[in-house]
Amino acid sequence: MKNNSYTVAVLGAGNIGSAVISRLLHLDNEVININLSKVLVSDSTKDRDFDSNLITEDFNEIANDENIDLVIEVLGGVEPGKEYIKELLQKGKSVITANKDIIADCGEELIKTAQENNACLYFEAAVAAGIPVLKPLIESLRGEELSRVAGIINGTSNYILTAMEEGSTYGDALQNAQELGYAEPDPTNDVEGIDAKYKAMILSLLCFGVSPSTDDVYTEGISKITKEDFDWAKRLNKTIKLVAQIDNSQEGFNARVYPVLVDSKHPLAAIRGALNAVLVEGENINQLVFSGPGAGAAPTASAIIGDVLSACHQMASNQTNWYPLRTPKTGDKAIKDVDSSWFIRLSVKDEPGVLAAIASLFGKNNVSIESVIQEGRGDNAELVLVTHEASEHNLTSSIDSIANLDSVSSVTSTIRVYL
């Protein structure tokens, strides 16, 4: 740092890295002067849209350069980025990353390393790309007792679900998402909720001081959702969204990711296509919703540049950035103890006593039924039920027992209802 001038390096020059580099090279230097010094790549022979003199394949050229103040990590994956970030922070260099995998894996450790070395660590883009969520949560809402943070934080799955709501099959919607570049050739992380789980882990740490492991966050994806589920959701004035939900109450803390039926008037129901949204609830604020583009090179680069400017401001004050790692108020609550309401579709034989037998099994497990709809006749009638709130354990036990009834051909689907 010299006279409000900062020297920056970038690790990675893929889609996001290239967008970041372009933004850095075209920043207005009247307020702050950013000097891009080095760009780490794995293949220096590849044609780039920036000066080849910036390119290096040697991380040590960046780590050991005392003139470099700040490093932006956009390599993807966990390694070698995690070790690079640790080393840079230990050397007192500030780091900005969009890497949710790394922050979910060891975010608390990296925050403490940054603070111990008077360095800055920023990762706004790791949760919702271009949506400014973390700064408001960390700074503006620091004095609030938050009770819930929930959100649609994977654009690929939301694009697919929106297309299915509009009439597409899951397969067609996924193929379209891949053709548009929303989904990878292997879409597992997106459609099975893994990407959203990592982001939920980051939000858990910053909002509630809890750093859950990947095994602690119950995760279910959207690959089993069907067009018929959406038809029923519409009849119930609802839609289906993949939601990451983090609750913190006197009964305990729990983070989870799964598809839910959302009332059509709820703010999350209006989030369509590849957009993301994060909903925050607390006693004094009631409910806040942050929404916008949650994926893509341009929105992600925008969040990274915002972090660059914040980091430079902090470095000018000779301070690390402030991450209030809150002390958890309560212990963890296992998913089996979480209260849920379920939408359940059953294929049943249309014969006397079927509904009574099903209701009896629910009753034995302390589950009450809110509504029932039956359609069709013969051996493949369809029974659709929505339950009142009950523990996940009791709901699961009920379904296991019901599935064994001779009059029940199959449990076609079970989807939670957003409460």
Active site residues: 199
Per-position DSSP letters for 184-235, written without gaps between them: -SS-HHHHTTHHHHHHHHHHHHHHHS----GGGSEE--STT--HHHHHHHHH
DSSP 410: E
Cβ contact 223:191 at 8 Å: yes
Q: Which residues pair with 348 in a beta bridge?
A: 381, 408
- Give all strands of the β-sheet with 94-97 in edge-to-edge order: 55-56, 33-40, 5-11, 70-73, 94-97, 121-122
Give the Cα separation of 307 and 123 in Å (integer): 7
Rounded Cα distance between 250 and 247, Å, is 10
Which amino acid is located at 349 in the chain? K
Nearest to 163 by CA among 172, 151, 154, 153: 172
Closest by CA to 327, choosing from 200, 247, 207, 246, is 207
Q: Enumerate residues 6+ apart whose C-beta is below 8 A from 247.
A: 147, 148, 253, 254, 255, 333, 338
How many CB atoms are closer than 10 A to CB 62? Answer: 21
Beta strands at 94-97 and 33-40: parallel, antiparallel or unpaired: unpaired
From residue 161, alpha-carbon distances to 215, 217, 268 in Å are: 25, 22, 13
